[in-house]
Structure 1
Amino acid sequence: MHQVLYDSRGGNTKKVADAIAGELGVTAVDVKAASLGPGDGVLFLGSGCYGGKPGEAMVKFIEANDLRGRRVALFGTSGGGAGNEVKGMEAAVKGKGAEVIGRYFCKGQMALFFSRGHPNPADIDAARTFAREMAGLESVTVV
């Protein structure tokens, strides 16, 4: 079964996580309350970008779990939409033995004005497409 875990302070990454989870017929879970399920599905991990890195709770989750042999799809949101949070998660999960099969990132509203309106409907549609592609195990990057 697929799992969708996220770390979101402002709600942007949660919106993307909910879209991915909805597409897969599962529930997105805040990583602070998550446990690692069976390894037969894709593990979707998502985080906002905080100081150019993934959130602390996501980093702690990755460090605390054995990801050997896991297929992982990464997603993130940031004010600039550069994907640094995804790059940080990728290095961390690869270091724990996971196979990264895809990545998705988009802008997320920061403060009141920076990247206002993101993630927008097009971002959410792209996240749903990403979920379908990852569930089919096609290796792609959607930006």
Structure 2
Amino acid sequence: MKEIEITSRLVVYDGTDELPETVRELMQKAVEVRKKAYAPYSRFRVGAALLLDNGEVVIGSNQENASYPSGLCAERVAVFQAGARFPDAAIRIIAISAASDQRTVLTPVPPCGACRQSLAEYEVRQESPVELYFMGETGKVVKAPSVGDLLPLLFDKESL
């Protein structure tokens, strides 16, 4: 038997004012697009903004559907759009903001498991890390230096 310890290193900022200017601007775009989410069922709105290595910013918001599995999270809307529009560009940074119509979300909200897996696919494909910054409506912001820090036992093409 062998025991394996897995650790992740995250950075927690007290607010957006502590973020580097580029990330602060990206987070503002995530907040703006979050307000345009189509979330009539969960009343939970998420916005994502990606910075690509070609300087382009791609945004996405969650899009719900009465047939729940048919909806899509903000992170995947943005990453799939980036893949379709700029297939040769690498994703450098993703900023994510979440809010509820029913309460104030003060706790940073990380990507769901499906989004982590989708983001990991792009990170592996581009052979470089994607920095993730995520927050609630306001307050603390968490930085993960790589998708691998949020999904350490990665299922990728090598698993097939």
What is the TM-score when the length of structure 2 is the normalising length? 0.36
Indicate the structure (1 or 2) with the bigger Cα radius of gyration. Answer: 2
Bigger strand share: 1
TM-score normalised according to structure 1 size = 0.39
